[in-house]
Chain A
C-alpha cells in the first residue's frame, strides 16, 4: 500500500470516529460504483450525509479544503443519487459534508468539519 493511501485510510478512520462521537451512525465506508467512490455515508436523525474526507500530513500544498473543487462536489452530488438508487433508500434530507484531517507527524490529528457545502 502506498504511503498516500495509508494516510487516506488513517484519515477516513479518524473522520469516522469523529462522526460517531458526534452522534452519527456510519452506514457505509468507501462505497464504490462506476462513477467513483464516496468516503463515508452516515446518518443522524432524518438526514443522510455523504462525506468527502481529505487528509494531509503537512500544509505545504495548502489546506485540505482547498483541494475540494467544484467538479469534485458535482461528482459527489451524482454519487449521492446513485447510492440512494442502489441502497433503495429515499431519505427525507440529504447533505454533502467535507471533513479535513490534518495529521502532522508526531502530533494529534486536527479534524475540521464543514456541513452542507453543496
Chain B
C-alpha cells in the first residue's frame, strides 16, 4: 500500500514551524487515525476530510489511513491542516501525484461539500513557508489575495478539494463551485479623526505632536469633558505610515486574530482601546491550547489607549510593564512559549479623582483627600515611570471657544508632515546607535559627552532637580522630550526654551 507526504504550517505566536503531513494506507478495516498532538478541532479533521473527499468525487481508500503530523511533539491546532491531510491521503492512494503534492505547502479548512473555507493566520503562515525556502503554497480562494501579499512565492488559490486534486494531477473533470469568501469584506480605510477638530487645549495639541514625533508614552489627566479621549483618538493620525517590516507584522497579527485583510497590507498604525474591565489575558494575550495575541500586541506599531486608566485592575496594568520595556510579550505554557510583538505607544487617560472634578475651575471636588490619593495610586509607580509626557488637560472656556473660531488650527496632515521631519532628524542624529526614536534613548547617553547640553541650557532643569521637584529619572525624561521638541522645531539641539517646555510637559501630575 502507499505512503505520501505533504506540508502545512503550525503557528505558534507569529512564528510558524513547517509540519510534514504523512499518510499511510495499510491493509486493515476502514479507519482514519490522526497522530501528532492535534487539538480538538484538528482531531475532527478526519471526519471533515472523509466527507469532503467523498463529495468531491475522489473518495478516500476503504483501508486504514494513518496520518502523522511531524514533528510529532509540536502542538498543532485549528482546522487549517484539512487540505494538506486530504491531499496526503489522496496521494497515498495514487489519486493525485505524490510528487506534486510533496512540493507544495497547503493551507485551508474543508467544508463537508469539499469547498475550502478561508482560514485565519494565512499571512504569517505563508511568510513562514517563504522563509523556509518553499516556492509554492496552495490556499483557499478566499485567502488568495492575502497570501499574495507575501513576495517571492507562488500562490495557488483553489475553491474546492476537487480543484486542488485536479491541480495535482487527478483525472477528474473540473466542476465549478461557488467559492466561500471571507465574511469580513475588505473595509475601506476609515477616516482618521482630524486634529483640527480640537478647540483650545493648545498644550495638549503640542504634547500630542511631540508624543508622535518622539514615540513618547502619554498620560492625560483631566476632568470629564476636557477632551482627553478626543485628543488620544487623534494620535494615530499623526503617526507616519508603517514601514514595510512593521506593516507585515501588523497585518500578520490581524490575520492571526481571524480578521480579514482584504487584498492589501495595513499601512496605517493600529489603534486599540480595550475597555477597563479587560483581563490580563485580553491585554497581553493568552489562551490554553491556542495562544492568541491580546490588545497590546494588536496595538503593536500603533497606539494602545487606556481610557479611565485607574479603573483597570492593577495586575492588568502591571502586565504591560514587560512589553513597555522589551517590545515583546512572551506567553509561557506547559508545552510551548509564544512570542508576540508589542511595540506600542501607550496613552492613558484618567480623571484626577473619583468624582472627576478635582482641579477643575468651574466645579469643586467632593472627594475626601485620601480617596483622591488612592485613586491615582492605583496606577503603579513603575508603570508611571515609563511614561514621558504627563499632562493636565483643562476644560475649555467660553472665551477659548470664541477665540478658536478666529485662530488657525493645526490639521492632522500638516502635523504628520512635521512629525515625519522630526523623526527623520532624530534618526539622523541616532544613526549608528540601536535606537531610532528619542523615547528609546537611555539617560546616560543623553548626558554623555556626545550630546550633552550646555549648563546654561539646562539651568532651569538643574534647579528643579536640586529643589527635589524632579527625580534623576524624571530629569532624563525631560531631556528626551527636550530633544524631541528641538527636532520638532527644526533645531540642531534644544535651547533653554525647549528644556522649559519639556519640564512643563513632564510636570502634569508627578515628578
Contact = CB atoms under 8 A, between A and B. Distances in A.
Interface of A: 63, 65-66, 68, 73, 98, 114-115, 117
A115 B27 contact: yes
A63 B28 contact: no
A117 B30 CA distance: 10
B29 interface: yes
B62 interface: yes
A65 B29 contact: yes
Nearest to A64: B62
Interface residues of B, number: 6
Contacts of B28: 114, 117
A74 to B, nearest CB: 13
A67 to B, nearest CB: 9
Contact of B62 (A65, A73, A115): A65
B89 to A, nearest CB: 15
Is chain A's binding surface mostly helix, strand, loop or mixed?
mixed
Interface string B1-45: 000000000000000000000000001111000000000000000
Nearest to A114: B27
Contacts, number: 17
A66 B28 CA distance: 11
6 closest Cβ pairs, A-B complex: A63-B62, A66-B30, A65-B30, A117-B29, A65-B62, A65-B29
Contacts of B30: 63, 65-66
Contacts of A114: 27-29
A37 to B, nearest CB: 19
Interface in B256-304: none
Contacts of A63: 30, 62
17 contacts: A63-B30, A63-B62, A65-B29, A65-B30, A65-B62, A65-B63, A66-B30, A66-B62, A68-B29, A73-B29, A98-B29, A114-B27, A114-B28, A114-B29, A115-B27, A117-B28, A117-B29
A98 B30 CA distance: 12
Nearest to A113: B27
A65 B63 CA distance: 8
A63 B64 CA distance: 13
A68 B63 CA distance: 12
Most chain A beta-carbon neighbours within 10 Å: one of B28, B29, B62: B29
Nearest to B61: A63
A63 B60 CA distance: 11
A79 B28 CA distance: 21
Contacts of B63: 65
A11 B30 CA distance: 20
A106 to B, nearest CB: 22
Contacts of A68: 29
A114 B64 CA distance: 11
A103 B306 CA distance: 72
Contacts of A115: 27
Contacts of A73: 29
A65 B30 CA distance: 6
A62 B30 CA distance: 11
Contacts of B29: 65, 68, 73, 98, 114, 117
Contacts of A65: 29-30, 62-63
A114 B229 CA distance: 72
Most chain B beta-carbon neighbours within 10 Å: one of A73, A114, A115: A114
A115 B27 CA distance: 8
Nearest to A68: B29
Nearest to B54: A62
B81 to A, nearest CB: 24
B268 to A, nearest CB: 54
A68 B28 CA distance: 11
